[in-house]
Amino acid sequence: MARVLICDTVAQDALDAIRKGGHEVVEKVGMSVDELMETAPQFDALVVRGATKVRKPVLEVAAKGNLKLIVRGGVGLDNIDLDDAAALGISVQNTPAASSVAVAELAMAHLLACSRFLGPANCTMKNGEWNKKAYGKGKELWNSTLGLIGFGRISKEVAKRAKAFGMNVIFFDPFIDDEEGARKVDLDTLCKESDFISLHIPHNKETHYLLDAPQFDMMKDGVIVVNCARGGTVNEAALLEAMKSGKVFAAGVDVYEEEPAKGNILAEYEKTVATPHIGAGSAAASKRVGAEVARKINEFFE
């Protein structure tokens, strides 16, 4: 039997499945770093989502105790110091397939919302205004070019949906070859050819500010940029300036350099459609993520 510490909210079905596997489950959501350092060594496994950060000091303390496994419910692993975990003999696993569709659908929602002024039109309608002329010159997805930065699971789901809208799909990903229905290009070509750009990459040293002022300068006038991947992959200040200049028509943003993004100027700008990091936040995705978390724990400790 393993002791499993639930650090972030997980579906009740998943907790039941872990217990059914013969393991003890303890929920302590919202712990401070000090609380996590004190508590983690007492457990064999940690379950986290995006909120809990498992950095080197936590790992070092936990490794001296019982910790053998960390399961990240979701895709991104940037909230866990992977190299340090590996050096300490702690296995880190995630659930990359479980939330792919949910994130892809949110990216498509942002593309559509940015194209047709859905954010400001909704707000002004609720204020009793009828701004038909102001919001009557939107963009169409049909017959346009979508540039996908990164071409992993989520990005491929976006590509499927974009093709259904009649979009031409190109992608930049140094680790993936050409795919059926999508053309591989370098980053400069993607910036120059795309009418819409959507990011689907992790945040690390190589991808930090992958879209910055030089990339915005080479884009088409009136491009739409969507980021449902990770904060820090786009220079928020540069994106804001590009919207103010008219280079970028609108931006759909679900992730930020600092989260929670309270008082974030980019999120508050009138041309930004902003959501609070809800890419994987569908009921169905939460169930799939929870089921995958439970499966990984039960298999690891068999």
Which residues carry out catalysis? 230, 259, 277
- Segment (H or E) for 38: helix 33-39
Query: Which of these, 215, 218, 228, lies nearest to 273 by C-alpha position?
Result: 228
- Separation of alpha carbons 109 and 270, rounded Å: 17
Given a contact cutoff of 8 angstroms between Cβ atoms, the answer to whether 46 and 92 are in contact is: no
User: Cβ contacts of residue 82 below 8 Å, gap of 6+?
Assistant: 92
Using CA atoms of 86, 87, 90, 96 in order, give the dihedral in degrees to the nearest 10.
-10
- Segment (H or E) for 46: strand 45-48
Given a contact cutoff of 8 angstroms between Cβ atoms, the answer to whether 232 and 209 are in contact is: yes
User: Cβ contacts of residue 52 below 8 Å, gap of 6+?
Assistant: 7, 8, 31, 36, 46, 79
- Separation of alpha carbons 234 and 188, rounded Å: 15
Centroid of chain to Cα 269: 21
